[in-house]
Amino acid sequence: MKSVSRLLDLIVHSLYSHKEVFLRELVSNASDALDKLRFLGVTDSSLLADGGELEIRIKPDQDAGTITITDTGIGMTKDELKDCLGTIAQSGTSKFLKALKENKDLGADNGLIGQFGVGFYSAFLVAEKVVVSTKSPKSDKQYVWEAVADSSSYVIKEETDPEKMLTRGTQITLVLRPDDKYEFADPGRIQGLVKNYSQFVSFPIYTWQEKSRTIEVEEDEETKEGEEATEGEQKKKKKTVTEKYWDWELANETKPIWMRSPKEIEKTEYNEFYKKAFNEFLDPLAYTHFTTEGEVEFRSVLYIPGMAPLSNEEIMNPKTKNIRLYVKRVFISDDFDGELFPRYLSFVKGVVDSNDLPLNVSREILQESRIVRIMRKRLVRKTFDMIEEISEKDDKEDYKKFWESFGKFIKLGCIEDTGNHKRLAPLLRFHTSKNEADMISLDQYVESMPENQKAIYYIATDSLQSAKTAPFLEKLVQKDIEVLYLIEPIDEVAIQNLQTYKEKKFVDISKEDLEMGDEDEDNKETKQEYTLLCDWVKQQLGEKVAKVQISKRLSSSPCVLVSGKFGWSANMERLMKAQTLGDTSSLEFMRGRRIFEINPDHPIVKDLNAACKNEPDSTEAKRAVELLYETALISSGYTPDSPAELGGKIYEMMTIALGGRWGRPDNEAEAATTGEASTDSSEATVTEVIEPSEVRPESDPWRD
């Protein structure tokens, strides 16, 4: 007998990870009892006589430390008590279904919940003693089953107390353990558990709750001096007071909307259900209601929320509790880690209800199987259909709201779900060089491409402003070629994972070997003319750049720094440096080579070309090359190694350029430029003439 006690203890404390599920199991058993009675009552109406409504009532008693669960279902005879409660893992529901299947004339009822025969024993998670009083319409007598936790025996006796007699059904009384008494005897806690786990059970569930109401009562008013009470009665006046009382309250008033036909349900009903089920205040952007049949059968209602999560913890978190799984309308779990939805669709909210899922015995864990993978595939497909419907609406405001809230999720999908690239890519939206105010789709970009354009061009930066002013764009804009602006950190990685769209390659315009489709014929002559300059600049910059070459992408800027084909772009390098747990050792390796491109049409480059031919050892020319390189670093999106050193060089150039321009005394101008440049002694000193308008009067407070 000790082995039986140990087995019971193992079942109770090993199968269930949360104590609170005891109420779910007992309410499910009560629901099954009511379902059985309703089914059998179709052929034998006498079973339903004198038993009242089909319902479940739960009454917690904080003073006594008990919970009483009463149903008006089929009840049990003495033999059934022995068979179902006296035998571990013996499911009365399972036997009932088996009998129905054998009798094909009656048909089978798939609405019954129990299947393992251990749900009743979950009562011992919180109870030290369980008393079951039951009356079956098949028997004239009422029996009581009683057992104590950690005991290997139970008692069955006939009920003789007239006050405890039931018309029909079962009453379970749990005497709670001292540690669980304060939590589970609380009416508010019981109400919350019923709403969470059993909100959509098809029978009404009432809980015993404390309520308050305002009533008017009469109070005596003192008679003023000199006045006499009329007929010996004092004057009366009324006042309002709050009165507390206990009464039954319906706990599962929300109906399972997914069990109805979509044709019968109005949009307002879907919105109302969404707000109640998920505690939302905004209407959803979209919803879909469907039933799937075949290898796995389930019903589902999915919603796209009206706004993004307020908490940062919920963003990109697969454990958002947004998908609630039900089996036969009984809540099973909302704690999934990507089993039903991928991480990038974790913002979708909804319910999934099936009659037959691969659950473990505790009905808490959805076991991984082929059926689960099929469910996931269909749920994802329906979600894409729902998002596409929003994007195809004539009113673009809804999709604009969706993109502002959940655009990052879709981009994450491009990275994590290669199998759905064809469905994800059309949903993407970007600013472009031709559409800076509004965002466009990749379809719109491709439709507006010139016939000779073979690629989709993009630039990745940290803001829209820096994208618009990037030197890489100059020649492309001049040739009327549209460029995508990738301004969010995730954008570049998402596009790199897509690689192509409608057979058009994505091309980063900040990388080397940019092809624009129509190369200039005189480019070779220009290259030959500036070969000496390129070699000379490379000699000055040394290992800072891999090579120096004539640029095909510049029109107004003197130079630009582009990254190699296979290394990080400037934007990616910036992002990787900002990673808290980034590997600094890999930065140098992944940074890739840098190519310094010069614009042969710019005056600065022409001057340097003359300098390298006529005075290649000029200090000023060499300093100009250094400053040009470091300026190109910044304009190309890179970070200079020493910002302070760059600042010093700029200050020096400003001093030379501005020295004495607005009337500063010659000796100060000379002192400022001492050591900066050498002056040929043969050259005559030119005295700067200050115009009278620039001479400050004696009364000028800013005069030196």
Edge-first strand order for the sheet with 431-432 is 431-432, 483-486, 455-460, 504-508, 500-501
Contact 563, 511 (CB under 8 A): yes
- In angstroms, the CA 612 to CA 621 distance is 8
Residue 195 main-chain phi, psi, to 5 deg = -65, -35
Concatenated DSSP letters of 306-333: SS--SSGGGTT-S----EEEEETTEEEE
Whether residue 488 is annotated as binding a ligand: the answer is no
Residue 76 is assigned to a ligand binding site: yes
User: Is 170 annotated for ligand binding?
Assistant: yes
Question: DSSP letter at 219?
Answer: E
Give the Cα separation of 569 and 592 in Å (integer): 8
Distance, CA of 433 to chain centre: 30
Give the Cα separation of 128 and 572 in Å (integer): 62
| Residue 29, annotated as binding a ligand | yes
Question: Do the annotations mark residue 75 as ligand-binding?
Answer: no
User: Would you say 24 and 197 are in contact if contact means Cβ atoms under 8 Å apart?
Assistant: yes
| 567 marked as binding residue | no
Task: Tell whether residue 506 is among the known ligand binding residues.
Answer: no
The torsion defined by the Cα of 539, 543, 545 and 549, in degrees rounded to 10, comes to: 30
Q: Read off the tokens for 183.
A: 């939590």
**Of 308, 378, 289, residue with least CA distance to 341:** 378
Exposed/middle/buried for 520, CB within 10 Å: 0-12, 13-18, 19+? exposed
91 is in an annotated binding site: yes
* Cα–Cα distance list, 609 to 536, 600, 625, 690 (Å): 9, 9, 11, 35
Query: Alpha carbon 670 to chain centroid distance?
Result: 65
Q: Which helix (H) or strand (E) holds 493?
A: helix 491-498
DSSP 471: G
Residue 287: its H or E element: strand 286-292
576 labelled binding-site residue: no
Question: Is 117 known to sit in a ligand binding site?
Answer: yes
Nearest to 594 by CA among 575, 569, 622: 569
Is 227 within any annotated ligand binding site? no
SS3 579: coil
CA 645 – CA 642 distance, rounded (Å): 5
Amino acid, res. 454: K
The DSSP letter of residue 665 is -
The answer to whether the beta carbons of residues 13 and 126 sit under 8 Å apart is: no
Q: How many CB atoms lie within 10 A of CB 119?
A: 26
Q: Is 675 buried (19+), middle (13-18) or exposed (0-12) by CB count in 10 A?
A: exposed
Long-range Cβ contact pairs of 690-698 (< 8 A, separation 24 or more): 690/663, 694/662, 694/663, 695/663, 696/663
* Helix axis angle, 603-614 to 531-541, nearest 10°: 80
578, 628 contact by CB (below 8 A): no
Mark the binding-site residues, compressed into ranges: 25, 29, 71, 76, 91-92, 115-120, 170, 363
Mark the binding-site residues for ATP, compressed into ranges: 25, 29, 71, 76, 91-92, 115-120, 170, 363
